[in-house]
């Protein structure tokens, strides 16, 4: 009876996960979708705690430890999630993702320790344990590096032959797992820690050379890794809710990763061998074309206040400067002057796809003002002033004109079509793709240097004084 | 060859689940507007926290004198809970802002 109720709990859990993801795909139902999935998760967790029985019919014990762990994790998790700033969201997701990966790796490690005699253990079980261990550890180590990179505590780091080393590491990890599975040596209990160590190392080297702004792709990929690692646990315990949840996230995360790669014009294989970011350095040496001109704050304020239509292109710089509220202020004050203000959102603007929307939503920017790339491109010809806030590669015309450029083929926002382009950046330094942007040297373009937040506040002040 | 075929037959339920879930996962995500990509990633992140069930099972099975298993299992439960609770709360916070927007 109890086991049947547990089965029912797991079925409910699986259905809510699918339903939750489905509802997350609609802006109006997204929040409920998240709650539905959370409710299903709660049912599955408490069902497991109170109803689970192993093959011999024994119930779980150690309730003190279980509830203690849940209480500690729950309190820390809630506090961390409540306190985190909207701009630091990607780091947080990466951090939680790493926790899940570590959890999966620990489960594999403990289950391996439980094997009484490795020579008689079923092959399938060993494969699954190793898969969970390797994928979980890579996901954990990688997520921690991604977390460090996003909050700025870890710098990009690459050395010659790193990609070769990565491939070599992966081969050694797979080789060692095959050796332990196929030959079952006496030393397996020690060698398994070798697999753990090498997997952690691989996770570190896998993410190390990748530029900070490419982290979204990596986090999404690691997210799907953790899903697969969770599914390995499902195999291990023949637990259907872990299996469905894990595979669901694995598949969805992979698709999301591919979508992001497409938007950035990178191939997934390129991501998998850990070779982007560093490879595009070559073009960075290209000489600057001509000179750029600067615009003063007051001039910028005047052209914007007397324009009919202003399009704001927010980017990474806006997220870093946490300028979303100042941005909304500017929008309101311009609207009072009768200027039509809209936002052009590139799919990979900010630190994660959709990140800009979240940030601007936090600052109460209305939904209808956010234009997706295709619509924005249709509206640029009728736009008077485009204000680019800390975006670079997503407006680089080289993506269309220069086949030698690393970002060639990436869809961009055609800000050139507007009458005037004002670009706010902190300096003339190239964006994360490491390439110059010829847009900056176009006659239509004016540069407005400075931190996005400060510049916006100054602009608001100037416009008020007009 | 026989052993592989036997394995497939023996585990056909699981294999069916895996195949179907891959398609479901792709289908469900396919229609998501890019606006919701970050909350979606965060939501998916919370869902793979289902790995905590494995941690609970490991923890609940550990003998009370096997301290290594107890400590590692305890850590696994904490980490898994962080993943689940943190993931859902962060996602809810993100989506809360979308909701507020819609009312206006």
* Coil, helix or strand at residue A259: helix
Let me know: does A407 contact A399? Beta carbons within 8 Å: yes
Asked if the Cβ–Cβ distance from A77 to B74 is below 8 Å, we say no
* pLDDT confidence of residue A433: 60
ipTM comes to 0.91
Reading the block at residue A131, the tokens are 């898969």
Interface test with B, best of A11, A18, A77, A113 (most B CBs within 10 A): A77
Terminal Cα distance for chain B, rounded: 64
d(CA A96, CA B41): 12
Q: How far is CA A347 from CA A95, A210, A350, A358, in A?
A: 23, 20, 9, 13
3-state helix, strand, coil in chain B (%, to 5): 90, 0, 10
Q: Sorting pLDDT into bands at 50, 70 and 90, what band is B99?
A: low
Q: Do A409 and A399 meet the contact criterion of CB atoms below 8 Å apart?
A: yes
Domains of chain A are 89-276 (no CATH), 285-465 (3.40.50.1220)
> What is the pLDDT averaged over residues B7-22?
89
pLDDT at position B24 over 70: yes
Residue B103 has pLDDT above 60, yes or no: no
A393 classed as catalytic: yes
Q: Which residues contact A140 (CB under 8 A, 6 or more apart)?
A: A98, A99, A101, A102, A105, A200, A203
**Which residue, among A332, A294, A316, has the nearest Cα to A423 in the 3D structure?**
A294
Q: What is the pLDDT of residue A137?
A: 97
Contact B29 A25 (CB under 8 A): yes
Residue A432: predicted pLDDT: 58
pLDDT of B20 higher than 50: yes
DSSP string, B9-37: HHTHHHHHHHHHHHHHHHHHHHT--GGGH
List the single residue in B50, B82, B100 with the smallest CB-CB distance to A241: B50
Q: Which residues contact A413 (CB under 8 A, 6 or more apart)?
A: A313, A344, A346, A373, A376, A377, A380, A391, A394, A395
Is A65's CB within 8 Å of B48's CB? no
pLDDT value for A264:
66
- Per CB-CB distance under 8 Å, the chain B contacts of A238 are 14
Residue B104: predicted pLDDT? 37
Decide: A81 and B90 in contact? Cβ < 8 Å: yes
Contact state of B78 with A72 under an 8 Å Cβ cutoff? yes
Q: In what order do the strands lie in the sheet with A385-389?
A: A370-372, A340-345, A309-314, A385-389, A420-425, A445-449
Catalytic residue among A54, A384, A393, A402: A393
Asked if A48's CB is within 8 angstroms of B45's CB, the reply is no
Residue A337: CB atoms within 10 A of its CB come to 13
**Cβ neighbours of residue B34 closer than 8 Å, sequence gap 6 or more:** A345, A347, A353, A354, A357, A372
Q: What angle do CA A158, A164, A165 make, to 5 degrees?
A: 70
Residue of A37, A41, A103 to mutate for B, most B C-beta atoms under 10 A: A103
User: pLDDT of chain A along its 466 residues, tens only?
Assistant: 788 999 999 999 999 999 999 898 887 788 899 999 999 999 999 999 999 988 788 888 889 999 999 999 999 999 999 998 877 888 899 999 999 999 999 999 999 988 888 888 888 889 999 999 999 999 999 999 999 988 878 776 667 777 788 889 999 999 999 999 888 888 888 899 999 999 999 999 888 877 666 777 888 899 999 999 999 999 998 899 999 999 999 999 998 888 777 766 667 666 655 444 444 444 444 445 567 888 888 888 889 889 999 999 998 888 878 888 899 999 999 998 889 999 998 877 776 667 788 788 888 888 788 888 888 888 999 999 999 988 887 888 887 887 777 677 778 888 888 989 999 888 776 665 667 788 888 888 888 888 888 889 998 988 888 7
Between positions 39 and 68 of B, the ones with CB within 8 A of A are 39-62, 64, 68
Q: Tokens 């965060």 identify what position?
A: B42
- pLDDT confidence of residue A101: 96
* Token reading at A382: 């009728």
In angstroms, rounded to a whole number, what is the distance separating the alpha carbons of residues A126 and A227? Answer: 19
| pLDDT tens digits along B33-66 | 767 778 888 999 999 999 999 999 998 888 888 8
Rounded to whole angstroms, the Cα distance separating A176 from A15 reads 38
């Amino acid at each position: 009876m109890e086991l049947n109720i547990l089965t029912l709990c797991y079925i409910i859990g699986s259905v809510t996960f699918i339903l939750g993801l489905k509802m997350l795909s609609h802006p109006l139902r997204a929040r409920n979708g998240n709650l539905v999935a959370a409710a299903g998760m709660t049912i599955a967790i408490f069902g497991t705690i109170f109803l689970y029985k192993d093959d011999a019919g024994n119930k779980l014990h150690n309730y003190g430890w279980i509830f203690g762990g849940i209480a500690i994790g729950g309190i820390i998790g809630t506090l961390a999630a409540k306190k985190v700033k909207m701009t630091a969201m990607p780091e947080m997701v990466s951090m939680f993702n790493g926790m899940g990966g570590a959890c999966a790796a620990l489960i594999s490690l403990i289950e391996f320790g439980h094997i009484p005699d490795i020579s008689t253990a079923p092959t399938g079980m060993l494969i699954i344990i190793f898969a969970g261990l390797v994928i979980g550890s890579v996901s954990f180590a990688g997520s921690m590096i991604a977390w460090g990179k996003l909050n700025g505590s870890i710098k990009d780091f690459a050395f010659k032959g790193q990609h070769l080393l990565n491939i070599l590491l992966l081969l050694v990890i797979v080789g060692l797992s095959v050796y332990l599975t196929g030959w079952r040596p006496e030393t397996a209990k020690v060698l398994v820690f070798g697999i753990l160590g090498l997997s952690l190392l691989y996770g570190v080297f896998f993410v190390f050379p990748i530029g900070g702004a490419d982290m979204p792709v990596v986090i999404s990929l690691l997210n799907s890794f953790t899903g697969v690692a969770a599914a390995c646990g499902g195999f291990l315990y023949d637990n259907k809710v872990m299996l469905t949840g894990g595979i669901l996230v694995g598949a969805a995360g992979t698709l999301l990763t591919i979508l992001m790669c497409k938007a950035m014009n990178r191939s997934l294989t390129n991501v998998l061998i850990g070779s982007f970011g560093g490879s595009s350095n070559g073009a960075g040496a290209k000489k600057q074309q001509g000179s750029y001109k600067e615009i003063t704050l007051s001039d910028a304020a005047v052209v914007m206040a007397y324009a009919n239509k202003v399009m704001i292109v927010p980017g990474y710089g806006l997220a870093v400067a946490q300028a979303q509220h100042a941005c909304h202020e500017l929008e309101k004050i311009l609207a009072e002057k009768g200027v039509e203000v809209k936002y052009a959102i590139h799919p990979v603007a900010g630190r994660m796809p959709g990140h800009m929307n979240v940030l601007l939503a936090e600052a109460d920017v209305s939904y209808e003002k956010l234009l997706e790339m295709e619509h924005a491109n249709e509206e640029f010809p009728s736009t008077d002033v485009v204000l680019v806030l800390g975006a670079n590669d997503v407006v680089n015309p080289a993506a269309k004109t220069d086949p030698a450029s690393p970002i060639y083929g990436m869809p961009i926002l055609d800000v050139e079509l507007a009458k005037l382009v004002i670009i706010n950046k902190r300096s003339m330094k190239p964006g994360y793709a490491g390439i110059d942007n010829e847009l900056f040297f176009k006659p239509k373009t004016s540069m407005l240097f400075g931190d996005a937040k400060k510049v916006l506040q100054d602009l608001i002040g100037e416009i008020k004084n007009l | 060859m026989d052993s592989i075929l036997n394995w497939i037959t023996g585990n056909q339920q699981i294999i069916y689940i895996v195949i179907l879930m891959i398609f479901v996962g792709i289908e469900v995500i396919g229609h998501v507007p890019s606006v919701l990509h970050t909350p979606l990633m965060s939501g998916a992140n919370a869902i793979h926290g289902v790995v905590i069930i494995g941690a609970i099972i490991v923890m609940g099975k550990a003998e009370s004198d096997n301290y290594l298993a107890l400590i590692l299992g305890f850590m696994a439960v904490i980490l898994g809970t962080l993943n689940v609770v943190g993931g859902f709360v962060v996602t809810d916070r993100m989506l809360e802002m979308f909701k507020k927007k819609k009312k206006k």
